Amino acid sequence: MAWDFQTEPEFQEKLNWVESFCKEQVEPLGYVFPYAVRSREPKIRALVKDLQDQVKAQDLWAIFLDEELGGPGYGQLKLGLLNEILGRYPSAPQMFGAAAPDTGNMEMLAAYGTDEQKERWLTPLLNQEMFSAYSMTEPQGGSDPNLFRTYAMRDGGEWVINGEKWFTSAGRAADILFVMCTNGMFVVPRDTPGVEIQPEPRSHNHIIYNDVRIPEDHLLGPEDGAKVLAQRRLGGGRIHHAMRTVARCTLAFDMMCERALSRESHGKIISDHQMVQEKIADSYAMIRMLRLFVLETAWKIDNTSTQEARTDIAAVKYTMAKVLREVSFNALHIMGSLGTTDLTPLQDMYASAPTMGIADGVDEVHKATVARRVLKEYRPHEGYWPTEYFPAKREAAQKHFEPMFKADPELKEIADKYARYMASRR
């Protein structure tokens, strides 16, 4: 039986390098040149390329991809340990070629794309020569594929897409859109006629597909295979969100503890107040439990598959949103009025917690999924009484010992004394 909570020394060296690299080089770049990865300015591109070349030299580029899909093949557990660092720095995932929504889209392309599709889209996405968005959710159906209406119809050697999508994150800035239709997953260049991006919301775009014509070979995977591709994409996306959420919670916790030791209130350092201590203790326990749950789920994926670990992925997904909400609120409260401003990361963390409970499927749906899958492992009890009903247990135990009692009357007498004593206590 293998049971180990240690990180192998060779990989720990990688983690140490990533931590120093992000703190000393990635973070400063993000403050001086926001959104540097998407910049078209040659001098900024040169700065980004230098950092990304260092990442590639460490064999840490596109770390989310398995080896058979063209990545370094670290697996989900090691990816979780890496994301505990990357998640603290907003621009770090892009600097490592591992930022959503491109990650999930690249995974779909790597797993289901033809050689021509990989050359046309996957390679440029990996090299960050283009960017993508995932167009799934619909205004009237949310994230439930059974309620989707967007449909692609064949017309000669083309597909014609009609429908409406909502919350297509970064759709306005994407070069290509992965559009989930009722009858397939399609890759649509953003500048295709009929792709109508609405003015609002600005970041998570509302897009109308109005007679959008694309070539026949823009279908990704099999026809009518959209749900299979989506589950592959979203399963990985959910666990990756959870990995980075551990990092964000840890950052909030670090800020909370630092502040608790730095401020005075009512004549003493606020860390001496029991209510502050309670928030710190509760936050510590929540983060540790979430982290272990995330890493165990990642381990399960590595040793089985995303589908086999579906119950845990769903449970991790709604747990992370709850922990982020609670921990960020505790940190914000201890930070005081400063925490309510945009001068620290805390306000953004707290404001994003509800989004984490909605993105990639609302928490309520995942809770229902977990309950249904868990209940499949159980059966109803027979008769009136539950399995752990004490009188039935005692009766069964008496029958178990009956042969011994017949062979040894003295043992039977001792058992009767115990029975009388226990009866007197009830």
- One-letter amino acid for residue 188 of the chain: V
Which of 360, 343, 286, 348 lies closest to 90 in space, CA to CA? 348
Portion of the chain with pLDDT greater than 90, in percent: 85
Q: How many CB atoms lie within 10 A of CB 193?
A: 9
pLDDT of residue 4: 84
Q: Is the confidence at residue 364, as pLDDT, over 90? A: yes
d(CA 274, CA 407): 61
Q: What is the mean pLDDT of residues 325-334?
A: 97
Tens digits of residue pLDDT in 73-116: 899 999 999 999 999 999 999 999 999 899 999 999 999 999 99
pLDDT confidence tier of residue 257, bands split at 50, 70 and 90? very high
Cβ-Cβ contacts under 8 Å for 101 (sequence gap 6 or more) = 132, 133, 134, 169, 170, 237
User: What confidence category does residue 1 fall into, taking pLDDT thresholds of 50, 70 and 90?
Assistant: low
Residue showing tokens 């309620």: 147
User: Which tokens in the block code for residue 77?
Assistant: 């557990």
Residues 6 or more apart whose Cβ sits within 8 Å of residue 169: 100, 101, 133, 134, 203, 204, 205
Q: Using N-to-C axis directions, what is the helix angle for 274-303 and 310-335, rounded to 10°? A: 160
Task: Render pLDDT for 24-76 as a digit per residue (tens, 0 to 9).
Answer: 999 999 999 999 998 989 999 999 999 999 999 999 999 988 887 778 889 99
Cis peptide before 34 (omega within 30 of 0): no
**Cβ contact 378:263 at 8 Å:** no
138 confidence band (pLDDT: 50, 70, 90)? very high
Q: What residue spans of 123-270 are helical by DSSP H?
A: 123-126, 226-260
Is residue 186 helix, strand or coil? strand
**Is the pLDDT confidence value at 307 over 90?**
no
Q: State the pLDDT at residue 70.
A: 77
Identify the CA nearest to 87 among candidates 29, 35, 18, 173. Answer: 18
Q: Check pLDDT > 90 for residue 397.
A: yes
Which backbone phi and psi does 248 adopt, to 5 degrees? -65, -40
Q: Is 331 exposed, middle or buried (0-12, 13-18, 19+ CB in 10 A)?
A: buried
Read off the pLDDT of residues 139-150 as tens digits, 9 standing for 90 and up: 988 888 889 999
Question: Is the pLDDT reported for residue 261 higher than 70?
Answer: yes
CA distance 292 to 15: 18
Q: Which two tokens stand for residue 269?
A: 């350092």
Element holding 204 (H helix, E strand): strand 204-215
- Domains of the chain plus CATH, in order, are 9-113 (1.10.540.10), 132-220 (2.40.110.10), 227-375 (1.20.140.10), 390-425 (no CATH)
The C-alpha atoms of residue 408 and residue 126 are separated, in whole angstroms, by: 77
Predicted pLDDT of residue 232: 81
3-state secondary structure 276-338: HHHHHHHHHHHHHHHHHHHHHHHHHHHHCCCCCCHHHHHHHHHHHHHHHHHHHHHHHHHHHHH
What mean pLDDT is reported for the chain? 94
pTM over 0.95: no
Q: What's the pLDDT score for residue 142? A: 84
